[in-house]
Structure 1
Amino acid sequence: MNNEERFWNATMEELIKGYVYDGMDEKYVCLLCSESFEDGIIYPIDGTLYEAKKAVVCHIQHAHRSVFDYYIDLDKKYTGLTDHQKELLLHFKEGLSDKEIVQKQNGGSASTVRNHRFKLKEKEKQAKVFLAIMTLLHESSNQKKEQQFVSFHKGAKMVDDRYAITEAEKDKVLSTYFKEGIDGKLDTFPSKEKRKLIVLQNIMRRFELNKTYMEKEVNDILKSVYSDYVTIRRYLIEYGFMERSKDCLQYWVKK
Structure 2
Amino acid sequence: MNLTNLTIDDLKRGWHQTATALSCNYCDASWEPTTAIEMIEQHLTIVHGGNQSSLIHLDSRYNTLTAKQQNLLTAFATGIKDADLAKQFQLAAATIRHQKFTFREKAKQAKLYLAIYQSVFESGQTSNDLIALPEQPGIVDDRFAITEDEVAQTLKQYFDFDHEPLQLKRWPKKQKTIVMILTRIIDEIPLNQPLSEAELNAYLRPIYFDYTTLRRYLIDYGFLKRTVDGRQYWRTTTQED
* TM-score, length-scaled by structure 2: 0.55
Aligned runs of 1:151-170 on 2, under 5 Å? 168=179, 170=181
Number of matched pairs: 164
Instruction: Give the structure 2 partner of residue 22 of structure 1.
Output: 18
Answering whether residue 30 of structure 2 is matched by residue 36 of structure 1, we say yes
- Aligned alpha-carbon RMSD (Å): 3.9
| Contact kept? 1:22, 1:29, Cα under 8 Å | yes
Instruction: Give the structure 1 partner of residue 48 of structure 2.
Output: 64
Gaps of 5+ in 1: 41-50, 157-166, 175-189, 205-224, 228-255
Segments of 4+ moved more than 3 angstroms: 143-156, 169-174, 190-194, 196-199
Q: Which moved more, 1:86-95 or 1:74-83?
A: 74-83
Q: Alignment partner for residue 84 of structure 2, among 93, 97, 100?
A: 100
Aligned runs of 1:188-227 on 2, under 5 Å? 191=197, 196=201, 199-203=204-208
Instruction: Give the structure 2 partner of residue 82 of structure 1.
Output: 66
Larger strand share, 1 or 2? 1
Q: How many percent of aligned residue pairs carry the same amino acid?
A: 26
Q: Alignment partner for residue 11 of structure 1, among 3, 7, 16?
A: 7
Once the 2 structures are TM-superposed, how far is the Cα of residue 100 of structure 1 from its aligned partner? 0.4
Higher relative contact order (CA 8 A, sep 6+): 2
Partners of 1:52 and 1:110 in 2: CA distance: 42
Partners of 1:168 and 1:111 in 2: CA distance: 53
| Contact kept? 1:173, 1:198, Cα under 8 Å | no
| Contact kept? 1:19, 1:31, Cα under 8 Å | yes
The DSSP-based 3-state class of the residue aligned with 2:115 is helix
Question: Deviations along 1:115-149, whole A, 9 cap, x unmatched?
Answer: 11111110111111111222222213225455679
Once the 2 structures are TM-superposed, how far is the Cα of residue 80 of structure 1 from its aligned partner? 1.6
| Contact kept? 2:24, 2:30, Cα under 8 Å | yes
Question: Deviations along 1:18-55, whole A, 9 cap, x unmatched?
Answer: 111112xx211011113111235xxxxxxxxxx35443
Q: Residues 133 and 39 from structure 1, CA distance in 2 versus in 1: closer, same or farther, beyond 3 angstroms?
A: same
* TM-score, length-scaled by structure 1: 0.53
